[in-house]
Structure 1
Amino acid sequence: MNIEKRTIDFIPEEERHGNVRSLFTIWFSANMQITTLVTGALAIEFGLSPFWGIVAVIAGNLLGAIFMASHSVQGPKLGIPQMIQSRAQFGVVGAVLPLCVVILMYIGFFASSGVLGAQAISSAFSIPVNGGIVLLSIIALVITLFGYDLIHKMEKYFAIIFAVVFVFVTIEALRLPMPAHLWSPGHFTPGTFLLMVSIAATWQLTYAPYVADYSRYLPSNTPSLKTFAYTYAGTAIGTIWMMTLGIILTALIPKFLSNSSLGLANLIGLHFSVIMYLVIVLGVLAVNVLNLYGAFMSITTTLEAFTKLKATTKVRFWLVLTAAIIGTVLSIWGNGNFLNNFENFILLLSYFMVPWTAINLIDYYLLRQGEYSVWDVFNPNGQYGTFNWIAIFAYLVSVVLEIPFVNTTIYVGPVSKALGGTDIAWITGLVIPLILYYYPMKKRVKADLPIQEVVRKEVR
């Protein structure tokens, strides 16, 4: 298999290929991993009953996946990666603002997932955890260098393996001794419940910068409804399944989170433990390849805004290697206090990523109805300009206005305190851009319509 030649550039129609069904397997596989399971387990750590924890997980994922899958539709339509499309909202250079946040996100998730995968390698083969982190990073590096087609093919086979193994794991989990009161709703704490809903929704929303990267090679006539449906089903089913499993296992197995990999291996028995460890490692690879690929694409997009960067095979290697080294170092550093670091990390990301999601979707669906000049995305002198101060202002103000609603171990906002710990910052981050971005941009987009009509004719 050849190394992918395209990076952030437009994919011409003659190079489009693949089946829309592959979007189900790539997002199913990306979520069928131990980091997802640990995220669901936070519901028990927060003090929710398993019943309310599972309800929160289902509600948050079903809602968040709507926004996540809506981004996937942009791939076949525009034929460019997700984050470079942000130039149409923020400007060619202005898009560097959300890009920097996204790069941190990719590398952060790469680091946090690497810790859990390395724990599995350490338990299975008696390799030091730090050695396991390095090994996983090297494998992810090689796969990422080959790129899009290998990633899709890998995720397809991983999806089959994960489905078979975790059906067995789920059956074994449900066979554990269960207290009589386990499934009773118990005391309902609105603040804690909504905090878990926020975490589940955020899990999906933080995938928003990824999704179009893996649908952009599909033929441009791929039905938008199918693109949305396969992406939504894959990400929602995989995430809800694993988060629910995390809640059940944490509720039934004492100190499960102290070493979740070991807990899963013990669940299925000594004879199959190595298989379980390998599946955990494959799960980490499934998502970390996406993290590394996304980091590479975003770094390339950022550098291209200031330089005449040509993403040759050599440049590709060095950029991917740099991202992998940074992620590996962070993974080793965060190993000692993983759970606390991870909880803070995922909540922090939501406050920065949600307004970007809102601005991108408002622009695509409500203002331009998917009609863009792809060529101007690469041209600072084009219709999208160098900076779009309306988008930048809306983004920054939305992030600031989220602060009173946040609830983290570092800081709890006054509104969150008044609401008993409820964290609804992500809702604020979705709503505020509707006011600050949509209305000021309406007039500008109307002025761009004649240009867009010309572009439509050229495409036809």
Structure 2
Amino acid sequence: MNNNKTAPPPHIDSGALGIEKSGIDYVPLSQRHGKAWHLAPVWFSGTAHLLTFAVGFVGPAVGLNLVWTLIASVLGLSLGIFFSAFHSTQGPQLGLPQMVQSRPQFGYYGAVLIFAVVVLVYVVQGVSTVLVSGPSLTATTGLSGNMALIITVLVGVATAVIGYKFIHRLGRWVTYAFLVVFAVLTVEVLFRVELPAGSFSLSGFSWTPFLLQFGVCAGYLIGWAPFVSDVSRYLPPSVGVRRSFWWTAGGMWLGAAWLIGLGAVLAIAYPAIASTGDIVGTVMAAGDAGFNGLGKLAAFTAVPGLLYFTGVCFYSASLTLCSIADTFGMLRRPAARIGFVGVIGAGTLAVSLLAGDNLIEQLGILLPFVLSILAPWTAINLVDFYVVRRGRYSVREIFNPSGIYGRWSWRGLLAYVSGMVVMIPFISTTVWQGPIAEMLGGADISPFIGLPVAGVLYLLLSRSLNLDEERALIVQMDKDIDRDVDEGQAVGGQTTYAH
């Protein structure tokens, strides 16, 4: 381990608009700030936008009526929010970004496999958000389609470059504006929109579309599990696990349930528009049914949330790419984060310009895919944090390739691969339909098989860990780490800079 001290650069803190100088560095206690409730607007604004609204279209598009769409959505969101909110609590306790925390479970080099998988998730989320934000800007400002996509990506890049403080501040601004306008729209919809007969009938239930809507909603929120510690890691550990969990869960729940429910109502009330995947057109039609101009105002008010979440996607993607580069000793300076923001922004723009138009169909395919590849990881990570190691980790050793967590951790890798393998018979996609999925009428329940298998197997394999010896080493290795980091001492292979 390199323990050479290097002088930190001058401390510059210019408030919310000051560019974050940290990369995947450990955040010492002297630099922690904020309160647990600050997480609520971050994740309310992260869900209160038209991409979430589009998730409510999926159930009606495959034949579910309103009541079964709402039931499937509530159950799916409840599952997804459980995992993401528990991941959020890890940030204040460890002071590290989310994905680098996977090294104790998968090993210093083994975790790179998980990092690469998660980068795919960021691309899916980022492209989906850009593909909704672009048409929203076009419809409300008159910009050309390609120009709207470019502006969306540029704003996302700027948000990600400025970093953590600005993300939190912007989340509050977006929340306040959204609450006012969409509260008016929702009241107008509840009193004026007419729903077809049978919208609340419990008859005609079908497993396949129900499980699709359930999986889309669960995958939508579990898809944020790799993000959440990234925007909670500067909070002091004194916020506690319980408060950080509930403030994260509360913000996510309100935003997601509100927008998905509203989306489902309008997809059924305006089937001709919704069936084309025209999310913005559906919102505008519903708003203008109340009074002229409300629809355009609502669509425009939802744009900042989309731009904001695009920035969050780019921010977290850059931290994961930093983790990959750090593993191989490349680009360890925190400034590399800014370069990676540009890389992920350019890639997202390229994919968005080439993507097809049918976003609702794509969401029905991509979000269950996101859930499938994340389910084993989230189970392993949470089991390790809450059950096996109980939050006790050495930050120095997480950055040490020859440390106590090893280069490759066969326990985590075996549990992850096993979770993926057992899902194969249950997968149902246009590319592959497993035999059990076929017996279930095409319903894809694979993630709900892989998740418990990976978690339980990892727990059993971890029984051979010598945790008493590990904990004794943690105390020794991380002694005075906060003082050392404040003085600019290297942690593992990277030098920490004041923020």
Give your verdict on TM over 0.5: yes
Q: Which residue of 2 aligns with 1:279?
A: 301
The amino acid of 1:253's aligned partner reads: Y
Unaligned runs of at least 5 residues, structure 2: 1-16, 483-499
Q: Which residue of 2 aligns with 1:338?
A: 359
Deviates more, 1:347-356 or 1:272-281: 272-281
Q: Deviations over 1:229-281 (max 9, x none)?
A: 10111111211111111110000102333211022122222423442232221
Q: Which residue of 2 aligns with 1:372?
A: 393
**3-state DSSP of counterpart to 2:293:** helix
Counterpart pick for 1:104 among 116, 120, 136: 120
User: Is residue 404 of structure 1 aligned with residue 399 of structure 2?
Assistant: no
User: Is residue 421 of structure 1 aligned with residue 437 of structure 2?
Assistant: no
User: Is residue 301 of structure 1 aligned with residue 323 of structure 2?
Assistant: yes
Contact conserved, 2:65 with 2:198, CA < 8 A, in 1?
no
Q: Deviations over 1:16-66 (max 9, x none)?
A: 001110111111110011111111210111211110110110111112211
Q: Which residue of 2 aligns with 1:243?
A: 260
Contact conserved, 1:141 with 1:324, CA < 8 A, in 2?
yes
| CA 150–46 in structure 1, closer or farther in 2 if over 3 Å, else same | same
User: Is residue 268 of structure 1 aligned with residue 291 of structure 2?
Assistant: no
Contact conserved, 1:30 with 1:287, CA < 8 A, in 2?
yes
Q: Which residue of 1 aligns with 2:178?
A: 162
Q: Distance in 1 between matches of 2:250 and 2:173?
A: 17
Deviates more, 1:33-42 or 1:172-181: 172-181
Contact conserved, 1:359 with 1:434, CA < 8 A, in 2?
yes
Q: Which residue of 2 aligns with 1:210?
A: 227
Contact conserved, 1:115 with 1:335, CA < 8 A, in 2?
no
Percent of aligned positions that are identical = 31
**3-state DSSP of counterpart to 1:70:** helix
1:174-253 superposed matches below 5 A: 174=190, 175-253=192-270
Q: CA deviation at 1:456?
A: 7.3
Contact conserved, 1:364 with 1:370, CA < 8 A, in 2?
yes
Q: Deviations over 1:81-112 (max 9, x none)?
A: 00000011111111111111111111221111
The amino acid of 1:319's aligned partner reads: F
TM-score by length of 1: 0.96
Q: Deviations over 1:155-204 (max 9, x none)?
A: 01111111222212212222212234322223111232223212211111
Q: CA deviation at 1:127?
A: 2.0
User: Is residue 381 of structure 1 aligned with residue 398 of structure 2?
Assistant: no
Q: Which residue of 1 aligns with 2:11?
A: none
Contact conserved, 1:112 with 1:334, CA < 8 A, in 2?
no
**3-state DSSP of counterpart to 2:80:** helix
Q: Distance in 2 between matches of 1:114 and 1:179?
A: 32
User: Is residue 134 of structure 1 aligned with residue 150 of structure 2?
Assistant: yes
* Residues paired across the two proteins, number: 459
Counterpart pick for 1:45 among 49, 61, 77: 61
Contact conserved, 1:368 with 1:445, CA < 8 A, in 2?
no
The amino acid of 2:143's aligned partner reads: I
User: Is residue 34 of structure 1 aligned with residue 50 of structure 2?
Assistant: yes
Counterpart pick for 2:107 among 91, 100, 117: 91
Query: Greater helix percent: which structure?
Result: 1
Deviates more, 1:437-446 or 1:229-238: 437-446
| CA 445–237 in structure 1, closer or farther in 2 if over 3 Å, else same | farther
Deviates more, 1:434-443 or 1:336-345: 336-345
| CA 231–210 in structure 1, closer or farther in 2 if over 3 Å, else same | same
The amino acid of 1:161's aligned partner reads: A
Contact conserved, 1:249 with 1:256, CA < 8 A, in 2?
no
Q: Which residue of 2 aligns with 1:442?
A: 463
Q: Which residue of 1 aligns with 2:39?
A: 23
Q: CA deviation at 1:317?
A: 2.9
Contact conserved, 2:392 with 2:471, CA < 8 A, in 1?
no
The amino acid of 1:170's aligned partner reads: T
Contact conserved, 1:69 with 1:229, CA < 8 A, in 2?
yes
**3-state DSSP of counterpart to 1:114:** helix
Q: Distance in 1 between matches of 2:25 and 2:221?
A: 26
Q: Distance in 1 between matches of 2:389 and 2:466?
A: 7
Unaligned runs of at least 5 residues, structure 1: none
Contact conserved, 1:354 with 1:426, CA < 8 A, in 2?
yes
Contact conserved, 2:287 with 2:295, CA < 8 A, in 1?
yes
Contact conserved, 1:37 with 1:245, CA < 8 A, in 2?
yes
Q: Which residue of 1 aligns with 2:379?
A: 358
CA RMSD of aligned residues (A): 1.7
Contact conserved, 1:102 with 1:209, CA < 8 A, in 2?
yes
Q: Which residue of 2 aligns with 1:290?
A: 312
| CA 407–169 in structure 1, closer or farther in 2 if over 3 Å, else same | farther
**3-state DSSP of counterpart to 1:411:** coil
Q: Which residue of 2 aligns with 1:348?
A: 369
The amino acid of 2:426's aligned partner reads: F
Q: Distance in 2 between matches of 1:312 and 1:184?
A: 56
Contact conserved, 1:192 with 1:421, CA < 8 A, in 2?
no
| CA 135–335 in structure 1, closer or farther in 2 if over 3 Å, else same | farther
